[in-house]
Structure 1
């Protein structure tokens, strides 16, 4: 499989300094699935082209798959014996090429150049070509992914057989990108989007892939109109990791935010909704006077880090049904590096919110932030009994999406929910009805508040309820604020 990078920036041979590969030599590098070769088909002051050619060894690729299966990973799609050796992997650009690119052009991906540091930060005229790219979604998807990043895209579907045009195109495209970008940005676009277009990663996707995605997507992925599709495919359709990535992207400023010459940021990126939501929850907890707090359904620990920063909270417990989510939360909190006194303040427990757990009793407050919509409707009575009847904290702070606001998201198809794991999303009336019934059934008072932009027609993007068992007043959550990220 082949990828070429061409520049006409003069002297064009400075491309060799940025890639740390000399134009006069061919260099070869061992990679887990074969050998990567870098060479220059042309190298003059006016035009220089660097080529990355990956030779995949089917035997090594099969051996690597076997080793992964031995460690408990899932089988690859070519699970039949012959298919492990006879397939398109040696010829069509895919996630294999992205992995080789990351190893061979490591410094260039980071935007580092010892010999030409000023050039590494300069936008260069670039032409990138991938003559055979496996593309699930065809040429149209390639255009949707690369065009918002400043590329002029030429994506031509490769016919199944040119002798029989009525057979139509194959699943491969000939892709050419033209634009003026930093080389590091261009390579990071490829590193992320080649596996996305391939949509069949050749390696096991571990939790650290989330960090790799956010690193490579820094400055462009958060504002990309196809960020949901990119995140889901890059993380091999692992819902928990995709959800955590989107939550973290919601907190990341876009490139327009970081550029002082870009003018005022668009309203959609002034303040991410995830930030506003956590601020509203934190305000409600502080106003309640709580000291011992539960974060029920804590996920990867985004809220836990903010709770830990508040000295008011002397005991903080995060729970989740997913052991992997708790591992990510521990990593995010850096539990193993916290001082002993801080470690004593925070605990992580595995627990399901539809089964009674005596450990959850006796706390001052509990948070259910974007959790209830992941519960099957038939299990909501058990959920309410566990939280409000059995655990019975003094204060419960609950947030959930307002489905009426979904029409304000241009990239969300009509009738779909904000996350594939959502079992439902409530209207404002449905939210008011459920919270009122739960409060009456379990002896709580409830106040409801908007979070995010308050639209006159469809209300806020997020709904927040504060349940109080002892009648102590709490301050209002954010009534109006900016931010429309889901």
Structure 2
């Protein structure tokens, strides 16, 4: 399988500096069950092409398959001949500096868009040209796809799923390689290794800056994570902005989310505690408000999205804080559905518009972790009130967040609170948040759980 990258922005030989591969040499890197050979078919100031040729060992693929669910694949398969996750491994190893945005010789080149052309020969695309268009056109690529017949001698057999694909775009090399790294296995819809939680981190890192707004985001995530529902849902929740779209009250410029945060902050101030952990802290809006509470000496935010934590650090200006302030804050990367000793020992835990982003079958794991493992004295939790949704009109532009997996009515919410009381020995008090309307209540609801 062959991948070529051509730069036609003068001087085109800048491509060699960015890829950290000398145009006068053929270089090889080891990959699983094969080798990737990097070389330059053409080099000039006007046009420079770098090729990566992946040479796979068909026998090694069978010997090292670890029981992959291939039946006849040991004898008949396309893995040595098509661009797949093996190619993304080759990109990661062969072009690691460029993929990570590093260029020691000419660092100023990293942020400069180049006139790039990519050709992939051949590419397995499950879903055909329509999938190619879904994936690349929103990213600004000019796409040419040549579909190959199953057998040119037997045209009645129809077309195969294999394409020679040419992509053109004016984009940074790092962005191009990131797109290929994520989208090649998405198009192929296969991976040569077991997918686990580490893949979420890879996807978040390589998709940063473009995947969040991609219209085919859900397709990309689910294929990249091999349709593992738990992993896919966690990744989508991490990619999605963690805070709900603000709902504007009719007679106030203050948003509903502002009301939530103020209510939670006021509740913590009333409790006169010294430590709080914000579970699912998102971009740090609540933490920024809590910093005004001088009594709090230990404020920790935890989120599954590393990108949200980066935004939180910038929002809070951690790099510019004086030492006494900086020592009060800690940001942690983690999931609130898994045991984590770092989260223990806090007087208060908050979950602001978090639980509705989980699948309901993961809610029990959250319950056990928060109410049985973390065990704070007080838990302050908010979630939308489903009863309120009937007030939305069809042309309403400020609706609930699209990532909500469920929403509870006031009755359902109270039933859940009673379950928590009986199962984990916490008393509770429910408070409405926002403007109340007769028969439907307020748009959001807050509960304060206190350890008995």
TM-score (norm 2): 0.67
1:16-36 deviations in Å (ceiling 9; x for gaps): 222122223322221122000
Unaligned stretches of 5+ residues in structure 2: 248-254, 305-326, 339-343, 422-426
1:283 is paired with a residue whose SS is helix
1:326-365 superposed matches below 5 A:
none
Between the aligned partners of 2:386 and 2:34, the Cα distance in structure 1 is: 50
Between the aligned partners of 2:64 and 2:221, the Cα distance in structure 1 is: 25
Residue 248 of structure 1 corresponds to 238
**How far does residue 7 in structure 1 lie from its aligned partner after superposition?**
1.7
Structure 1 window deviating more from structure 2 (433-442 vs 196-205): it is 433-442
Matched, 1:47 2:47: yes
1:30-62 deviations in Å (ceiling 9; x for gaps): 112200011222222322211111011123333
1:230-250 deviations in Å (ceiling 9; x for gaps): 222223333343333333333
1:88 is paired with a residue whose SS is coil
Change in Cα spacing, 1:13 to 1:440, as seen in structure 2 (3 Å) is closer
Counterpart among 117, 139, 142 of residue 149 in structure 1: 139
Between the aligned partners of 1:165 and 1:281, the Cα distance in structure 2 is: 69
Between the aligned partners of 1:216 and 1:279, the Cα distance in structure 2 is: 32
1:12 is paired with a residue whose SS is coil
Structure 1 window deviating more from structure 2 (53-62 vs 177-186): it is 53-62
Matched, 1:203 2:193: yes
Residue 13 of structure 1 corresponds to 13
2:45 is paired with a residue whose SS is coil
Between the aligned partners of 2:259 and 2:121, the Cα distance in structure 1 is: 45
On the 8 A contact 2:143/2:165 being kept in 1, the answer is yes
**How far does residue 281 in structure 1 lie from its aligned partner after superposition?**
8.0
Residue 413 of structure 2 corresponds to 435
Counterpart among 221, 245, 255 of residue 231 in structure 1: 221
1:100-150 deviations in Å (ceiling 9; x for gaps): 101001111122223333333211111111121112222111211111222
1:257-296 superposed matches below 5 A:
279=261, 283=265, 285-289=267-271, 291=273
TM-score (norm 1): 0.63
Residue 116 of structure 1 corresponds to 106
Residue 341 of structure 2 corresponds to none
Matched, 1:140 2:121: no
Matched, 1:128 2:106: no
On the 8 A contact 1:291/1:315 being kept in 2, the answer is no
Change in Cα spacing, 1:363 to 1:96, as seen in structure 2 (3 Å) is same
Change in Cα spacing, 1:435 to 1:173, as seen in structure 2 (3 Å) is same
1:295-444 superposed matches below 5 A:
367=351, 369-371=353-355, 396-400=380-384, 418=403, 422=405, 424-426=406-408, 430=409, 432-435=410-413
**How far does residue 172 in structure 1 lie from its aligned partner after superposition?**
2.2
Between the aligned partners of 1:97 and 1:143, the Cα distance in structure 2 is: 21
**How far does residue 198 in structure 1 lie from its aligned partner after superposition?**
1.8
Matched, 1:84 2:74: yes
**How far does residue 207 in structure 1 lie from its aligned partner after superposition?**
2.6
Between the aligned partners of 2:336 and 2:246, the Cα distance in structure 1 is: 38
